[in-house]
């Protein structure tokens, strides 16, 4: 019987995760012979600001991989692997929205401005289900369950669970099993 369980919880610490990605020529880092590289990604404060960092156990080197909010802290959190990139909440100095980081290109991009303008959508509690990223977000009206599809680049409110206010879905968990 095959069981796969993914559990995400709302912790008061920055989440830490490992991302594997393909690398040509046998790879670098803590990978196997198949060219896979495993790198630890996390949010950290270097004494100046809090940004996205990586740690390569094979070299023992920690590196700030992006600086989303020059002159401030982006505070990346809810870091989740989706497809071939990391997705997370970050503050660019204007608002907190959904961002992605592609380790192969080294580029961080805001992928959705759900609460248009200077308002923050605060995407949080992310989980990948099928080929879609699910999370809670606030569109300026209320906090509900949202999804993002990387192939279309579209973020959509999935369900208005509490029509009278915010449902604030959290602890998104995917359970896959064969009964």
pLDDT, tens only, 6-33: 333 332 233 334 444 333 322 233 445 5
What is the Cα–Cα distance from 69 to 49, expressed in whole angstroms? Answer: 9
Domains of the chain: total = 1
pLDDT attached to residue 179: 85
Does residue 7 fall inside a structural domain?
no
Residue corresponding to tokens 């961080």: 108
CB atoms within 10 A of CB 80: 24
Residue corresponding to tokens 């879609």: 132
What is the Cα–Cα distance from 165 to 119, expressed in whole angstroms? Answer: 18
Query: Which of 79, 100, 94 has its CA nearest to residue 150?
Result: 100
Does residue 42 fall inside a structural domain?
yes
* pTM, entire model: 0.79
Give the domain CATH number at 145. 2.40.128
Helices (H) and strands (E) in the chain, counts: 0, 14
Highest mean pLDDT among 37-41, 69-73, 88-92, 117-121: 88-92
pLDDT at 142 over 80: yes
Does residue 77 fall inside a structural domain?
yes
Does residue 41 fall inside a structural domain?
yes
What's the pLDDT tens digit per position in 82-125?
999 999 999 999 999 999 999 999 999 999 999 998 889 999 99
What is the Cα–Cα distance from 135 to 145, expressed in whole angstroms? Answer: 6
pLDDT attached to residue 112: 95
Does residue 79 fall inside a structural domain?
yes
Q: Which residues constitute the domain of residue 161?
A: 13-177
Does residue 32 fall inside a structural domain?
yes
Does residue 46 fall inside a structural domain?
yes
β pairing state of 17-22 and 96-102: unpaired
Query: Which of 42, 77, 70 has its CA nearest to residue 56?
Result: 42
What is the Cα–Cα distance from 115 to 99, expressed in whole angstroms? Answer: 14
Contacts of 12 (CB under 8 A, 6+ apart): none
Does residue 4 fall inside a structural domain?
no
Proportion of the chain above pLDDT 90, given as a percent? 72
């Amino acid at each position: 019987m095959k069981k796969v369980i993914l559990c995400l919880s709302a912790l008061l610490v920055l989440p830490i995760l490992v991302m594997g990605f393909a690398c040509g020529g046998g790879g670098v880092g803590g990978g196997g012979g198949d060219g896979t590289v495993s790198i630890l990604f996390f949010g950290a404060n270097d004494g100046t600001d809090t940004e996205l960092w990586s740690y390569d156990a094979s070299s023992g080197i920690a590196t700030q991989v992006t600086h989303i909010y020059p002159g401030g802290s982006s505070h990346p959190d809810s870091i989740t692997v989706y497809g071939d990139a990391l997705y997370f909440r970050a503050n660019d100095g204007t608002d907190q929205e959904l961002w992605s980081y592609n380790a192969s290109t080294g580029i961080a991009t805001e992928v959705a401005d759900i609460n248009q303008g200077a308002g923050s959508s605060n995407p949080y509690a992310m989980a990948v289900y099928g080929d879609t990223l699910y999370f809670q977000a606030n569109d300026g009206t209320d906090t509900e369950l949202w999804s993002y599809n990387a192939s279309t680049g579209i973020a959509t409110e999935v369900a208005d669970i509490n029509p009278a206010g915010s449902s604030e879905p959290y602890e998104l968990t995917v359970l896959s099993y064969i009964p």
